[in-house]
Amino acid sequence: MWGSPASLLVGAPGRAGRPPRAGPGAVPTHASVTRLDGRRSYDARVSELSTAEGTAGTDVVGLSRASRWVRLAVTAVVLAVVLAGTVWGDDSDFPFGPFRMYSTRADPNAPVVSTRVVGLTEAGQEVRLSGGEVGLRRAEFEGQLPRMREHPELLGLLAETYAERHPDADPLVEVQVIHRRFELVDGQRTGEYTDTVVVDQDLEDTP
């Protein structure tokens, strides 16, 4: 009734788990599932939810006129402060003012100024104090420069700290804050520099 066992292996699909072989003139087709009503799997309609139905259960609270004006006013003030800080601001105005070292470009032919703090011995020997010898770095000295100009006697504290850390060294008789200007050409050192003493304290005259 069903034919030979060999015909069952190459017969209709579903009985032996193997589909029939396609003939030489067959056209390849994409796999699909046919339902009982004759529709294929890719013929099904996609259910779309309208915007009105999707937002029907969401409560939206609108801002009052006063709230909108307050937000606009605050935004305008912040933008005005940021704009003013960008044009006229400096490091001390951060975050409304930019850091000049990152936001500006230096002239490659302009001299570079380096701040140095040195002590002088009785023999005239120069001792560097701004390299961490007294516990302060050069950047910290530069930040205190306006204060040192108003109160040069503060330089005496540096000499005392140096004497405590180097008890065998020759005592200092003078402390100076020096601006050293290095000449540049196309961003490269020329080897020339000039020193300018901006703060000076004679320790021998200090009571």
Q: Are residues 93 and 135 in the same domain?
A: no
Last residue of a domain, one of 101, 124, 150: 101
Considering the domain boundaries, does residue 159 fall inside one? yes
Q: What is the mean pLDDT of residues 16-30?
A: 52
Q: Are residues 128 and 183 in the same domain?
A: yes
Q: Are residues 96 and 116 in the same domain?
A: no
Q: Are residues 94 and 149 in the same domain?
A: no
Q: Provide the strand spans (E) within the chain.
A: 112-121, 126-128, 172-185, 188-202
How far apart, in whole angstroms, are the C-alpha atoms of residue 51 and residue 89? 49
How far apart, in whole angstroms, are the C-alpha atoms of residue 196 and residue 119? 15
Side by side, which strands form the sheet with 112-121? 126-128, 112-121, 172-185, 188-202
Range of the domain at 199: 112-205
Say whether pLDDT at 16 is over 50: no
Q: What is the mean pLDDT of residues 127-139?
A: 78
Q: What is the mean pLDDT of residues 177-196?
A: 89
Q: Are residues 128 and 182 in the same domain?
A: yes
Q: Are residues 117 and 197 in the same domain?
A: yes
Q: Are residues 84 and 141 in the same domain?
A: no
Considering the domain boundaries, does residue 189 fall inside one? yes
Considering the domain boundaries, does residue 28 fall inside one? no
Q: Are residues 117 and 199 in the same domain?
A: yes
| Comparison of pLDDT for 64 and 106, the residue scoring more | 64
Helix (H, G, I), strand (E, B) or coil at 189: strand
Say whether pLDDT at 150 is over 80: yes
Helices (H), 126-200: 138-143, 145-150, 155-165
Considering the domain boundaries, does residue 1 fall inside one? no
Of 31-40, 152-161, 175-184, the least confident: 31-40
Which pLDDT band holds residue 21 (cuts at 50, 70, 90)? low
| Comparison of pLDDT for 107 and 178, the residue scoring more | 178
Which pLDDT band holds residue 50 (cuts at 50, 70, 90)? low
Considering the domain boundaries, does residue 40 fall inside one? no
Q: What is the mean pLDDT of residues 51-70?
A: 73
Q: Are residues 148 and 184 in the same domain?
A: yes
Q: Are residues 201 and 120 in the same domain?
A: yes
The alpha carbon torsion through 155, 159, 164, 165 (nearest 10 deg) reads: 100
Q: Are residues 132 and 195 in the same domain?
A: yes
Domain count of the fold of the chain: 2
Considering the chain, what percentage of its residues have pLDDT values greater than 70? 70
* Predicted pLDDT of residue 6: 43
Question: What is this structure's pTM?
Answer: 0.50
Q: What is the mean pLDDT of residues 192-201?
A: 90
* Predicted pLDDT of residue 51: 54
User: What would the two tokens of residue 93 be?
Assistant: 């105005």
Q: Are residues 128 and 173 in the same domain?
A: yes
